[in-house]
A and B are shown apart, each in its own frame.
Chain A
């Protein structure tokens, strides 16, 4: 004789098959509902609304529901958008490459060359900038790299000619790396720290020299972390607003700047939304690519 268990006849709102049954589902629902609602209202809904707006129209400065493809056509075919897209992609890609090239050796040094205490201290010191005002730090770089800024004053004092540091790709990368490099380093430090030391020892035991250990053992071992660091860096650089604003004066404009400007001038919400949604599409593609790279098994090269 079979009798349905209490779990199977639980409330239908959210049927929870907890690890140990025998308790009603009221608690999980009570906990889960506020969370679901909050995220739905303040995160999902806005994003969905964003997509919806792309089909709306602006008539005499008022946003009106409609279903037109004008905004999409106008933006996707517009040169400024193309330019901004290509530019932002280039910039973000550059930042990603630079960040990876720098972050790996840095993380390696931190993980393997520092004592445990020192390593903890370094990590603590790195976490701080990640969560403290990016706007201010960008402003500070402006101060340093400006025509009359700290850097040039130092060069003056030493007798060297002044450099135009601000306003170009260099200062932009400086700004973006300020944002992304600490995060990339932290990700890799955690990943390298988690590598089984016996793998390294085994490799050395089998005759690998230092460089080979790095390329043949370490890098493959932290591939997911490398991908994570790369995607995070790309994501942050691609979507950044303040960096391009202060470091290059919005010339040429990055996509985020395009968005804000479109909103500010004439409240062209639908068009701004198109740019926004396009950006999300690009990022989703990059993210998906990243997951592919992280999980795909490396094809073995001929020995």
Chain B
């Protein structure tokens, strides 16, 4: 085959693979959304006609409603706590050096690398021991321990663009270290803080393993789904699924909106960076 034809073939294969990949990624989500509006009880082809019955049923189910509220509360709590912890860790990593710094940063960064099953089990064992089992606050605390890793990463990346001299300049102009933090560092990190907030919320909203172990009677939405799935297949799942997916998508898009991270391009620099 000529070189040109070979190249055309390889191009076609590449694009084909990419398209197949997107079908692969999109299929699960499409299936859920589509069949949540299917009047049929069992998701098969042909479709049973458009209907909102399952959405209504899901909405009317008190356990689902409660789970949803729990998810929102836990998500909000996690978002706030993770952003605070993530920021503190990122800032300390950026500005200071001290003994044990590597270990310090490591303990914040590593939790997502521990399989959720093991972490959940460990957390359950421990919080039971200290009497914190079965509370929403506990789920928030455990989720935060994991989500702050993402928050820290986002904020640390933003701080990479922070000119090394901006803080000393602020001190030089009369700002105490705390004032400089409040008036210079935080405003600069604002986009990353917002992104971290939404991303932590998304992480928490999606997390089911730890919530399942630690939450006890308090189910978050993914836990409710998991429990429901272990019973019989219930078309309400699709409806919940659509809502959950929509919320996750919105949260992730919001988070992305506030990060300037792009592949293959150096991250935007700001004036004030040392040349």
Direct interface between A and B, CB < 8 A: yes
Q: Which of A16-24, A77-85, A162-170 contacts B (4 or more CB under 8 A)?
A: A16-24
- Partner pick for B45 among A153, A185, A263, CB 8 A cutoff: A153
Asked if B206 lies at the interface with its beta carbon under 8 angstroms from chain A, I say: yes
A32 CB, nearest partner CB in chain B, Å: 5
Contacting pair B206 A134 (CB below 8 A): yes
Asked if B14 and A189 sit within 8 Å, CB to CB, the answer is: no
A149 engages B206 (CB within 8 Å): no
- Do A42 and B249 form a contact, CB below 8 Å, given A17-B98, A150-B31? no
B203 interface residue (CB < 8 Å to A): yes
B interface, how many residues as a size bin?
Answer: 35 or more
How far apart are the CA atoms of A63 and B145 in the complex, in Å?
A: 26
State whether A280 and B114 are in contact (beta carbons under 8 Å apart), knowing that A135-B226, A140-B241 are contacts in the complex.
yes
Q: Which one of B17, B141, B181 lies within 8 Å of A42 (CB-CB)?
A: B141
**B29 and A129 form a contact (CB under 8 A):** yes
Question: Of all chain B residues, which has the CB nearest A27?
Answer: B177
Chain A nearest CB from B132 CB (Å) reads 9
- B15 contacts which of A14, A113, A120, A128 (Cβ < 8 Å)? A113
The A132-189 residues at the B interface (CB cut-off 8 A) are 132-141, 143-144, 148-150, 153-154, 157, 177-178, 181-182, 185, 189
- How far is it, in angstroms, between the C-alpha of A175 and the C-alpha of B258 when the chains are bound? 31
The answer to whether A273 touches B171 (Cβ under 8 A) is no
Docked complex Cα distance between A53 and B129 (Å): 11
Task: List residues of chain A with CB within 8 A of the CB of B251.
Answer: 131
> Is B263 in contact with chain A by the CB < 8 A criterion?
yes
CB distance from B9 to the nearest CB of A (A): 13
Best-surrounded residue of A139, A154, A189, A283 (most CB of chain B within 10 A): A139
A contact residues around B111 at 8 Å (CB): 39, 43
> Which residues of A does B touch, CB under 8 Å?
14-20, 23, 27-28, 31-32, 34-36, 38-47, 49-50, 53, 63, 102, 105-106, 108-111, 113, 116, 119-120, 123-129, 131-141, 143-144, 148-150, 153-154, 157, 177-178, 181-182, 185, 189-190, 192-194, 210, 235-236, 238-242, 246, 256, 259-260, 263, 269, 272-273, 276, 279-280, 283, 287
